[in-house]
Amino acid sequence: MMDSTAQKQPRLWDDAAIIGGWTLLFLVAGLAYWPGLGGPFVFDDFGSIAALGDRGGVKDWETFKAFVLGGHAGPTGRPLALLSFLLDANNWPADPLPFKRTNLLIHLLNGALLGVLIGQILRLLQFEKKNARWIALVSTACWLLHPFLVSTTLYAVQRMAQLATLFVFAGLIGHLYGRSFLATNAKKAYLIMSASVAVFTFLAMISKENGILLPLLIGVVEVTVVSSQQPRPAALNRYWSVIFIVAPSAVIGLYLIEKTLSGGFFEISPPRDFSLYERLLTQPRILADYLKHWFVPELYTTGVFQDHFIKSTGLLSPVTTVLSTLLHIGVISVAMIKRRKWPLVALAALFFYASHVLESSVINLELYFEHRNYLAAAFLFLPLVALLQKKVSGQLFFAIAVAVTLLLAGFTRYSASIWADYPSMVEASARKAPTSARAQAQYSMQLYNVQRYDESLQVIDTAIQNMPNNFSLRMMRNTILCEMGILAASDFDRSANLISASIYDPRSFNLYTKFASSVAQQRCPDVSIEAVRDMFVDMLQVPKNADPLSLRYSQIKYFLGFTSVYAGESSQAVSAFEESLRSRPGASHAMRMAAQLASRNYYDEALYFADLALQQLDRDSQLILQSGRVGADDIREFQAVVRADKEAAQKESSVRETTE
């Protein structure tokens, strides 16, 4: 009896210590992220989350369907991620705090699931239970507190990546749990495993498309951890493996091959400034950079400004392309060859590369994003923590673990404090990434807005020197000089000749709008609105800009209409606006045109485009997933104001004629 009590006491202390460790970890993580919860929405948040207000808020079944099923962030629309945003708000504009708070809670939940998953893996490898629990805790702490994941957790829209990761972790846990019954109750085992793969792959996919990688990642766990077990576990049924693991993985492989062999593999397709071939060449360098940031963490990275990475144009351009490629081939080869001898090393490596198969290959996405490592980095610290636990004493292991996790927590808190304020994010990113055109442009405009004009110009001039072929920066420079009233006609003509001969980037719409508005308001007297219109006319001489079905064409035609309005040529404005609408129909687009016409007293023309907007709304209302940013009531209210202004103008004209 005394022996039994004596045995229970250490176990109780161990349990209490583990529970205390996890509690402390979640508390530290919450404190580390706390400063960033008050930060603003940024970039893609406005594309996806702002749709909450498209129909006056999500307030009934129709608006619910329009928002949740009307997503455009990926092929699936990511409805589950959009549904989760309704936990935080149902209209726009909204307070970003609830969104970021929910993201943090999901991050903590993912940490808990990762801890469970690592515990399962270590038990399969026959680690002693006490050691396994501490290794799982420390490994999870390194992932949960790593500063490289701050941009995923505090970037509200990246909940999509978080939720996909959550369901992948849950699917892996379910698979390993079901597999544990394989030797004793095969029917139960296959039922659980089948449900785990099917249900969690689906849930992950409708959160973000790379959730389709769950079967492949289960395959990684099978060929590393499971295959290295001693004694060998019961083998999976061959037909089940083909249906639930091999076939889905093969579909992904065939899709990527088709993308590689498709036409245009070597062609640059705007808005990207790289071809799929160049993207594929660049990814080995990017993956190496991801690994560097993971194993050598920094206080702050470039955050959301990730256009700084210079593309590879050949295996030796730059030479790090071939060196990085050889590094990854070597790591993957060693992982495969030694997967049974070093299962944790193989798991960490192959899981990392398998998680990057979609987003870091030949799909035409941006080159670099930190959030692609949220899932991929899950096991990278696990082999190191397990080795450390094995090689040093318990006290030293504990001391090193505490020191490393506190260091990571400190880095994360610093990074989160920068995320608390958009100007600080912009400045930090601009200093960190001198070749990020977006960061430099944002920083320059930020300096301009606080009347630090000389510094603003210095930033943009330096950026143009670093990136001479980035025409958005030249337009930004024109805008700043115009706002200062010192843009010379000769300076504008030189930049306009360069800009008009290039392929227009639709992402620069707001920038061109700002410049055209500044000229229209006569902020820079030396530059005429006709000269700006001529620049847009010349843009259409570039074949890719002149494709009537492209967004580029629609936007350029809109600018032609805009400049024609302010040049006093209403018929040309109407013609250009109509062509823009034919290329890209939309009620909001039509109302933007109507507003421009009304502002210059072209009342009949404004009413005409308002009628077109109403017609567009009628067509949209027949499509369940279509939503507009203006409603019929808004348009009719606009028409009433325009008619009233028109009548007032007519009366004023009549009175003037009578007086004369």
pLDDT in the model for residue 157: 94
Q: Domains plus CATH for the chain?
A: 2-38+95-419 (no CATH), 467-659 (1.25.40.10)
303: left (phi over 0), alpha (psi -120 to 50) or beta: left
Answer whether 141's CB lies under 8 Å from 133's CB.
no
Return d(Cα 323, Cα 344) in angstroms, integer.
25
pLDDT in the model for residue 428: 87
Q: What is the DSSP string of 50-116?
A: GGGGTTSSS-SHHHHHHHHS---SSTT--HHHHHHHTTT-SSSS--HHHHHHHHHHHHHHHHHHHHH
Q: Which residues, in sequence order, are bridge partners of residue 314?
A: 317
Q: Tokens for 343?
A: 């299962």
pLDDT in the model for residue 628: 45
pLDDT in the model for residue 433: 84
DSSP state at residue 230? S
Q: Which residues contact 25 (CB under 8 A, 6 or more apart)?
A: 111, 137, 140, 141, 144, 145, 405
Q: Which residues contact 60 (CB under 8 A, 6 or more apart)?
A: none
Return d(Cα 526, Cα 541) in angstroms, integer.
25
Answer whether 177's CB lies under 8 Å from 120's CB.
yes
pLDDT in the model for residue 630: 62
pLDDT, tens digit, 9 for 90 and up, residues 43-95: 888 888 988 887 778 888 988 988 899 888 888 989 999 999 999 999 988 99
pLDDT, tens digit, 9 for 90 and up, residues 586-613: 888 888 899 999 988 888 988 988 888 8
pLDDT in the model for residue 624: 36
Q: Tokens for 333?
A: 């080869």
Q: Which residues of the chain have pLDDT under 50?
A: 1-2, 622-628
pLDDT in the model for residue 8: 62
